[in-house]
């Protein structure tokens, strides 16, 4: 066993360095959320809600939130394995000026304080502002490099504006990828990371800006036992913490008459849950068995590094290719528009909604991540068989470095018909799951908040 540990310790950190690179999962979650919820009459025809600044919400609810967040912390400590407790000094306290409340809230929920949390809506691809004020993408995200936010039109909102809950939810479901979870670890060289109590970044390269969010957006809950034995740090993934926290705040805000923040928090919860349906977020190395990992690393230890380097590059390339394909295909469907594109239909497909038990706190781990990890090997194979080898089977090609300008949906159009169908089938299957789980979580929030009555 010691030898196995030694072998795995050699390979896992290196593989995860890459696994943690492309951590956005579905690129632009709003595209799927709009579709998934458009078939829920409660959301489609929901009355508009009044936009409210975060400070206004906090000032109105500060006393109640102190209790709600204390109870939430107790729940997470009792229910989320290897949860790093929130330091007592960061507990939310009521009273104080609005700016101070905002700071205390951000510290209590331990998010990146550089995120502005402006008031905005994302517009659907192709939709015009038509005289409404716009908001530059740099005002919604802290990312300055590779972000799909650059291609999105944002509408600037003001307190008192009225907006559709569906648009608030869809917009917010993309927001956790705008820098919310960046720099939170104590070795991320940020002042806040040193106070948040999350410890050192469990995997990923802390020097890379985007990688530090990965442990919050991935859930490695169903690896082989031997993997955890060798690499205990893999247990330190926290989407369950985020999902529960944002749900709790959503229910409180909806119940207390702050519907805008209710739906915005709900969208944040949806994001992490949707991430768990991406097989490359629910399995460390889809397509690579434990025995093969051991072999790869054994030859690596003997000085033959090519096999390990190849495995790392291929897993990373396929992860990125899947997200790139989904993003470009759905964006194109909005732009044409083609509401009956297979991926759009998959998000709206309610056929399986009743096949799942109603959403509960075990769903993210036991249902959603489990389902994605079960599909991981098949997904990996489908990608390998459907796309040109250059993108997914050539260890000399680094998708991460060359992605700019690459449109895998367009590339796939040149593949044989059967390959195109296989890729459509795989992605639609995954998005069918995303759609069903998205509606399931929203239904549970409506029931808990009394908003469905
Ligand atoms: Zn994410």
Residuewise pLDDT in 10s, the chain (453 residues): 455 555 555 555 555 544 444 455 678 999 999 999 999 999 999 999 999 999 999 999 999 999 999 999 999 999 999 999 999 999 999 977 888 999 999 999 999 999 999 999 999 999 999 999 999 999 999 988 767 888 999 999 999 999 999 999 999 999 999 999 999 999 999 999 999 999 999 887 666 667 899 899 999 999 888 778 777 888 999 999 999 999 999 999 999 999 999 999 999 999 999 999 999 888 888 888 888 877 777 787 788 888 877 877 888 889 889 999 999 999 999 999 999 999 999 999 999 999 999 999 999 999 999 999 999 999 999 999 999 998 888 888 888 777 777 899 999 999 999 999 999 999 999 999 999 999 999 999 999 998 654
Task: Give the whole-angstrom CA distance, residue 360 versus residue 441.
Answer: 8
Q: Rounded to the nearest whole angstrom, what is the distance from the C-alpha of residue 323 to the centroid of ligand 1?
A: 11
Give CA torsion, residues 415, 416, 420, 421, to 10 deg. Answer: -170
Residue 177 CA to ligand 1 center (angstroms) comes to 5
Print burial letters for 304-330: b (CB count within 10 Å at least 16), e (below 16): eeebbeebbbbbbbbbbbbbbbbbbbb
Give the C-alpha distances (Å, rounded to integers) separating 88 from 73, 74, 180, 197: 10, 12, 21, 10
Q: Phi-psi region for residue 261, left (φ > 0), alpha (ψ -120 to 50) or beta?
A: alpha
Measured N-to-C along each axis, helices 259-275 and 54-79 cross at an angle, to the nearest 10 degrees, of 40
Distance 251 CA to ligand 1 centre (A): 22
Q: From the CA of 215, how far away is ligand 1's center (Å)?
A: 10
Whether 99 and 55 have beta carbons less than 8 Å apart is answered as: yes
Strand 49-50 relative to strand 162-163, pairing:
antiparallel
The span from the CA of 228 to the CA of 230, in Å, is 5
57 and 261 Cβ atoms separated by less than 8 Å: yes
Q: 320 alpha carbon to ligand 1 midpoint, in Å?
A: 13
DSSP-derived letter for residue 134 is E
Cα–Cα separations (whole angstroms), residue 335 to 36, 216, 332, 338, 397: 18, 32, 5, 8, 30
Whole-model pTM: value is 0.93
For ligand 1, the distance from its centroid to the CA atom of residue 254, given in whole angstroms, is 24
Helix (H) or strand (E) holding 14: helix 2-19
């Amino acid at each position: 066993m010691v030898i196995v540990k030694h072998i795995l310790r050699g390979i896992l950190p290196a593989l995860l360095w890459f696994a943690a690179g492309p951590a956005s999962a579905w690129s632009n979650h709003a595209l799927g959320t709009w579709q998934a919820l458009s078939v829920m009459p409660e959301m489609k025809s929901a009355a508009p809600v009044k936009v409210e600044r975060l400070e206004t919400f906090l000032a109105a609810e500060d006393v109640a939130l102190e209790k709600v967040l204390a109870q939430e912390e107790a729940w997470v400590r009792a229910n989320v394995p290897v949860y790093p407790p929130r330091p007592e000094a960061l507990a939310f306290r009521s009273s104080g000026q609005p700016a101070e409340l905002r700071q205390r809230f951000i510290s209590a929920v331990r998010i990146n304080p550089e995120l502005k949390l402006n008031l905005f809506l994302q517009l659907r691809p192709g939709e015009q502002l038509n005289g409404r004020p716009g908001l530059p993408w740099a005002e919604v995200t802290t990312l300055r490099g590779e972000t799909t936010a650059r291609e999105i039109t944002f509408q600037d909102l003001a307190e008192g504006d009225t907006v559709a809950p569906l648009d608030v939810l869809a917009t917010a479901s993309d927001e956790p990828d705008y820098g919310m979870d960046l720099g939170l670890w104590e070795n991320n060289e940020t002042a806040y990371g040193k106070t948040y109590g999350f410890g050192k970044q469990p995997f990923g390269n802390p020097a890379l800006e985007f990688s530090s969010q990965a442990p919050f957006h991935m859930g490695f809950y169903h690896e082989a036992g031997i993997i955890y034995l060798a690499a205990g740090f893999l247990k330190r993934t926290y989407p369950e913490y985020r999902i529960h926290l944002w749900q709790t705040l959503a229910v409180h805000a909806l119940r207390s008459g702050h519907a805008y923040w209710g739906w915005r928090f709900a969208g944040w919860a949806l994001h992490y849950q949707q991430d768990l349906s991406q097989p490359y977020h629910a399995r460390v190395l889809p397509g690579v068995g434990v025995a093969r990992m051991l072999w790869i690393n054994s030859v690596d230890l003997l000085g033959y590094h090519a096999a390990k380097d190849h495995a790392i590059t291929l897993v990373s390339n396929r992860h990125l290719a899947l997200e790139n394909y989904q993003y470009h295909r759905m964006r194109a469907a909005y732009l044409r528009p083609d509401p009956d594109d297979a991926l759009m239909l998959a998000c709206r497909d309610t056929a399986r909604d009743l096949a799942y038990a109603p959403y509960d706190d075990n769903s993210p781990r036991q249902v959603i991540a489990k389902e994605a990890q079960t599909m991981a090997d098949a997904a990996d194979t489908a990608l390998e068989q459907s796309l040109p080898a250059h993108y997914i089977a050539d260890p000399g090609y680094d998708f991460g470095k060359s992605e700019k300008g690459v449109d895998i949906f367009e590339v796939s159009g040149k593949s044989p018909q059967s390959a195109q169908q296989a890729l459509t089938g795989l992605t639609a299957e995954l998005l069918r799951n995303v759609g069903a789980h998205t509606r399931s979580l929203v239904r549970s929030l409506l029931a808990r908040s009394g908003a469905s009555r």
